[in-house]
């Protein structure tokens, strides 16, 4: 190759390299089968054998553990947090699903409003708001996010369906991955393997899957990288018999209150030898 041609080729190569996008940071997955604790109802010092802790995004993680940041991705946050029902009403009322009388739809069990992800424009605006929360999880040194309420379409009165949920969560997961955070699929067994293959979830956190006989979809999609919470002793004991020691299974009280509260319940299946 002539010197001039060689120089041109080199300059072209340098230019193409300089304009290529950087590789996103790698994400760390929780150790499958490791003992975990679910602390979204109040924090406390976990047992020394606990390797994985889930806490609300408003709380600090635990040092020397794998920490998962709980974030209500599709419904409103508790008061008085940014993202509460009153906060959305005051700042972005058009991003709440409304009833015919103009009042927000409320999920009765939790008194939470439903975020309106019915259009690409609304999904983009909601994600732009939540990006700060995702990045806050990273700044606080969590390693992953638990994105809750994948079933919000069932409360939306037809405003959107599970396909809108998948589109929103796909963008949510992509942004979290860009920040180096893994993302757990929280419940949503009806997604089948699309939660992993299409949306991009990295592992699963399930509630009452044994009680409702719906653990199989999570195992099919995520193998042993499933973290299972049961709220009744019968379901917990049968889960331990079925998959304990391979999949991490715990029993908690329904309100996941902190240690020391009279309603506190925590049990874990025996770990791998």
In a domain, 211, yes or no: yes
Per-residue model confidence (pLDDT) at position 82: 95
Structural domain containing residue 83:
35-268
Q: What angle do CA 152, 156, 161 make, to 5 degrees?
A: 75
Which pLDDT score, from 0 to 100, does residue 21 have? 59
Q: Is residue 16 part of a domain?
A: no
Strands 106-107, 112-113: pairing kind: antiparallel
Question: No. of H helices and E strands in the chain?
Answer: 7, 11
Residues 6+ apart with CB under 8 A from 113: 75, 76, 85, 88, 89, 96, 97, 104, 105, 106, 107
Residue 273 is predicted with a pLDDT of 60
pLDDT of residue 13: 45
Q: Does residue 221 sit within a domain? A: yes
Determine, yes or no, domain membership for 166: yes
pLDDT of residue 25: 81
pTM of the model: 0.90
- pLDDT confidence of residue 176: 98
The answer to whether position 112 is within a domain reads yes
Residue found under tokens 């939470």: 112
CATH of the domain at 66: 3.20.20.70
Q: What is the mean pLDDT, run by run of 10 residues, along the chain of 273 residues?
A: 47 46 82 96 96 97 97 94 96 97 94 98 98 98 97 96 98 98 97 97 98 96 97 98 94 97 97 67
Query: Residue 203 forms beta bridges with which residues?
Result: 184
Number of domains, the chain:
1
Directed axis angle between helix 120-139 and helix 162-178, to 10°?
A: 40
The length of the chain is 273
Residue 25: inside a domain: no
Q: What angle do CA 52, 112, 198 make, to 5 degrees?
A: 55
């Amino acid at each position: 190759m002539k010197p001039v041609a060689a120089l041109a080729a080199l300059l072209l190569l340098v230019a193409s390299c300089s304009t290529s996008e950087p590789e996103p940071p790698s994400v760390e997955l929780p150790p499958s089968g490791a003992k975990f604790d679910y602390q979204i109802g109040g924090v406390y010092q976990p047992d020394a054998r606990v390797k994985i802790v889930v806490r609300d995004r408003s709380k600090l993680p635990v040092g020397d553990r794998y920490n998962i940041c709980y974030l209500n991705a599709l419904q409103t946050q508790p008061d008085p947090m940014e993202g509460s029902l009153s906060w959305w009403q005051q700042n972005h009322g058009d991003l709440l699903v409304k009833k015919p009388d103009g009042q927000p739809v409320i999920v009765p069990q939790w008194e939470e409003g439903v975020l309106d992800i019915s259009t690409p424009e609304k999904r983009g605006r909601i994600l732009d708001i939540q990006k700060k929360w995702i990045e806050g999880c990273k700044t606080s040194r969590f390693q992953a996010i638990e994105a809750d309420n994948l079933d919000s379409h069932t409360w939306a009165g037809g405003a959107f369906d599970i396909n809108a949920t998948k589109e929103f969560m796909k963008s949510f997961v992509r942004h979290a991955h860009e920040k180096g955070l893994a993302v757990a699929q929280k419940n949503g067994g009806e997604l089948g393997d699309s939660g992993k293959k299409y949306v991009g979830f990295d592992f699963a956190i399930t509630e009452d899957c044994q009680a409702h006989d719906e653990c199989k979809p999570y195992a099919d999609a995520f193998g042993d990288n499933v973290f299972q919470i049961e709220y009744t002793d019968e379901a917990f004991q049968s889960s331990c018999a079925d998959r304990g020691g391979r999949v991490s299974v715990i029993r908690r009280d329904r309100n996941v209150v902190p240690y020391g509260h009279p309603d506190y319940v925590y049990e874990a299946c025996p770990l791998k030898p």
